[in-house]
Structures are given as structure tokens and as C-alpha cells.
Amino acid sequence: MEASLDDVVQLKRILETALLTSGEPLSVAELGKILGGEFGSDVVRRLLEDLRADWQGRGVELVAVASGWRFQARPEFQVYLDRINPQKPPRYSRAVLETLAIIAYRQPATRGDIEAVRGVAVSPNILKALETRGWVDVVGHREVPGRPALYATTRGFLDDLGLRSLEELPPLEDLGALVEQIPQLEIDAADTGNSGGASTETPDEGAHPFPPESPTSPAGSGRGERAEQVTELSSEVDQGQVDPPSAAVAGEPGKAAEEVKVPS
């Protein structure tokens, strides 16, 4: 359907109004419905790109994330917004960040997979808190005895990081810094659970997820081993030895368990 210049201006105003008043990202399909369903997705995307260009050089930008399109403040202006709405700097525990990183880069992953890399038991509270936050979800069960749950990241996780897909995930060592830019995650992440006979730990709140600790120091012996394992994982990801996470899994957080079957 051809549209005149006046029509294009009006269509962009409609999209602009919808996006500015929405509390959540809006998908191309949703925006198409707002326009009456008269335009295909390609036309809607071109309108969005034009609208994005219209907002260049302003304090607010139009961006595409995993769930759709949204307006957001440019990062360099956040310091001014914090003056009227100061946010407590996030302090994520080592246990939370390590668990999240392993799921993000090895998904779908079971609790046993996470514990194998970390070398300690994973508290169910950490996984539950990450689920509550909307960053991970159960996407199926591994077809082995006990059928352990398979965890993967969600579109909400990518939205919060400002990413469109898993392929845009930063290098593993940079994930912690990126996550800490997100407003405070209220997780009591004391990793005090004990399952399967694995050792437990008391995490350092606010520490970098993979600090360079000496594996020979009394307090950091287990953590040093974990740091080496995570470093090896990072190297495997960079060298392509670990397949990139499945976008289909991460993009369908509510996928039925029986639809995802991973052999042992």
C-alpha cells in the first residue's frame, strides 16, 4: 500500500505515541495492529527506522531489543535522571553472576551442569530468584533419570541488557559489568544450599563474578578453581568449541517441557 508524505508523517506519529506511552517494548506485529493491519512488517520496520533517525541527537533514543521496540534515555543522560530518582548501585553475589553466566553461555543447562562448572552446590533460591526476576526459565527436561529441569535465558533478560538476540551477548568476562548496569536485583543470594554432597560457599556480595583469586589461598581455593573453569568456558566460547546458545530456546521462555528433549 502506497502512502503519501502526509500519511507517512501521521503513521510515524501514531507509532511514536504508542511507543512513548507503552511500559513495555512493542513488537513489529503489535505496532502493525496499531496501524490497522494495513501495512506489512517491512513497511512497519522502515517507519521505525525513519522514526529512529528523527530522534538522533536527542536525549531519548528508539532502540530494538529482543521483545520489540522501545524508547529509552541515552546512557550518558542517566546521571541526571539519578538526581531525582537515585538508584542503589546493584551488588550481585558471585553465585548469582556465575550461575547466570553459565546458563547464558551453555543454555539449556541443568542445575547439575551449573554445579559441574562452579564446583559447588547451587542453591535453589538462586535459580528461583533468577526465574522471579524474569531472566531465566525452565524450557524443558533432560531425558535422563530424574529428568532434571533445563534452564535458559528469556527475552526479558535480553531486553534488560538492551540486546536483540543471544548473538549480541558480550564476551563472557564482560557480562558481569553489563548486568551491574541494570537496576538493583533484589536477591538474597547466600549460597547455603547443599545437594549431592557438593561443597558450599558464602559468596562475596558485590564482588566481580570471576575475580583473579589465587587457587592456593585458603579462602579462595575453591573459587580459584571455578575461575579457571569459567575462563576455560570463555575460551571455548571465543574459539567456537562451545556452540552458541539456541536463540529459539531463549526466545520462547514458556516453551512446553516436552518440546525440548536433550539427550544425555
Q: Residue 179's Cα: distance from chain center in Å?
A: 8
Q: CA quadruple 152, 153, 155, 156: dihedral positive or negative?
A: positive
pLDDT digits (tens, 9 = 90+) for 140-163: 999 999 999 999 999 999 988 888
Asked if residues 136 and 152 have their Cβ atoms less than 8 Å apart, the reply is: yes
pLDDT beyond 80 at 251: no
pLDDT in tens, 69-95: 999 999 899 889 888 877 666 667 888
- DSSP track, 43-75: HHHHHHHHHHHHTTTSSEEEEEETTEEEEEE-G
What are the pLDDT digits (tens) for 53-76?
999 999 999 999 999 999 999 989
Instruction: Quote the pTM value.
Output: 0.57
Looking at the predicted structure, is the pLDDT value of residue 26 above 90? yes
pLDDT at 59: 94
Distance CA 15, CA 172 (A): 36
pLDDT in tens, 170-181: 887 777 676 766
Q: How confident is the model at residue 97 (pLDDT cuts 50, 70, 90)?
A: confident
